Structure 1
């Protein structure tokens, strides 16, 4: 028995040459299909990564009453850390807030000079939820605590943002 493996390769090459346009069309169709699948996969990975980053950046700003003394401020911080669904709590004093205000406006500004004499800013806690979707529930429970002046978390935008990101993810899966 004689091995004729090269005969099959030779016949295949002749077929490719004889049907050049069909070969070109099939190779082009496969290339375009793989390219489109690759582009959509890359877009979906990027959209998911951006969505995750945006969701992780959602934070609740808790402003302590201005009249609160240091023991009340510390008790607010301890209470925040004990709430279920809290991932992290960071404290920023009135003085740190004034320094941040100064950096944003500059020392020479009229607004800074008026604030510098009597610091009207609040002590502030920055709270992050374990799950970004629990932000609204967590903020509502924080508002009910004692010695809290106000709670801000972008209420008007957070829910819309989560719905939009979920829609983008579902649209990407469909595509």
Structure 2
């Protein structure tokens, strides 16, 4: 059973979108695209200063992400896609996309962020990201995935591939794994 041509791995900073997304792309034999690479310099500077992006900041970035995803399909994209409206913007440009929301407890997110350095994503922005996050709705295409990576990203990606194939086979729009 085939999976959608565009899979967007979504979640807040520290959820593991890039690590998990790259493993998922490898598991599927697809290209991987990190949406962070598409942020304009103004967005990066704002976030590096600890200032959360607003919808106006995100709109052109989301347009670039969805256009790049559509052009690169089949692809796995790491993109926060925190709000339903952001996911709808991606879907309008990349119809048939599917989302994999990485669900990670706040304490684990804080631990991960404390251990890494990022070009522009300040750990101070975690609270604003959590406040902005609208979990994937039951009527949205995709799945909510418990990213307990104790088994490692490759095994977690294999679990996600199986879950996505089952969802496609059952025509289930969204569920939790």
Report if TM-score (shorter chain) is over 0.5: no
Q: Report which structure shows greater RCO (CA 8 Å, sep ≥6).
A: 2
Which of the two has higher C-alpha Rg? 1
So what's the TM-score if we normalise by structure 2? 0.21
Q: Looking at secondary structure, tell me which structure has more helix per residue.
A: 1
So what's the TM-score if we normalise by structure 1? 0.21
